[in-house]
Amino acid sequence: MDLPLEIANEKETDHGDVSGPISREGMPMTNVAVIYYSATGNVHALAEAVAEGAAEAGAQVRLRRVAELAPAEAVDSNPAWRAHLDATADIPLATNQDLRWADGLAFGSPTRFGNISAQLKQFIDRTGPLWFAGELTNKVATGFTSASNMHGGNESTLLALYNTLYHWGAIVVAPGYTDQSVRLAGGNPYGTSHGSAGGLPGSDVLAAARYQGRRLTAIAECIASGAREERVAA
């Protein structure tokens, strides 16, 4: 699978160390992790677009999937599920280290009855040690989703995801109606969402996802650079 150059070139750095990669403007680069679950490719397409947007905005980007938990017989019962799982096997699995590394986080999940998928929830439920250590505080975070029906749970899925982010002390950055692309993509201010009954996300939805990645990066950059200045001043 082709990834944008910036994603493919992502480097191992931790912004706890201010000597990390430096942008052309002389500032440390913003780290964005896009972490998602997708069974049949819709959320995967959104994840790639969010990652592209973050890279366009100058971030170092990690695109990471969470582990499949369903048994093989369940996956095999749906050819599209099996095909997508096999096609994305080369995308690294998300770890808590990715959360530690990131200044900005974008989480994606298909709706499961108005909630996030068990696969993404399992990943989130293993972040307790980071949470206890305060390492998720002030992470800038956002979410994106897909349901078969446009009103089949997209908004409630994002709100359910955001519950966790509030508990982390993360800073939730939803798109709101801050860009025309949000309206053109169906107008969900909570995060980019896609009604998949008609097929994979089209250009309007992908444009909104790219915008969401750019917006996440811009705000993560403000927060991270402010925090770095505070550390330098202390």
Please give the residue ranges that form the binding site for ligand FMN (CB under 6 A). Answer: 38-44, 110-114, 146-149, 152-153, 196
- Shortest distance (Å) from residue 52 CB to ligand FMN: 17
34 or 57, CB closer to ligand FMN? 34
29 or 35, CB closer to ligand FMN? 35
Q: How far apart are CA 146 and CA 152, in angstroms?
A: 9
111 or 192, CB closer to ligand FMN? 111
108 or 175, CB closer to ligand FMN? 108
Helix, strand, coil percentages (3-state) for the chain, rounded to 5, are 45, 15, 40
Six-digit token pair at 33?
A: 């992790």
Beta strands 193-195 and 140-147 are parallel
- Shortest distance (Å) from residue 202 CB to ligand FMN: 13
- Shortest distance (Å) from residue 24 CB to ligand FMN: 35
Please measure the distance between the N-terminal and C-terminal CA atoms of the chain and give it in whole angstroms.
45
Residue nearest to ligand FMN (CB): 152
Q: Is 136 helix (H, G, I), strand (E, B) or coil?
A: coil
- Shortest distance (Å) from residue 116 CB to ligand FMN: 10
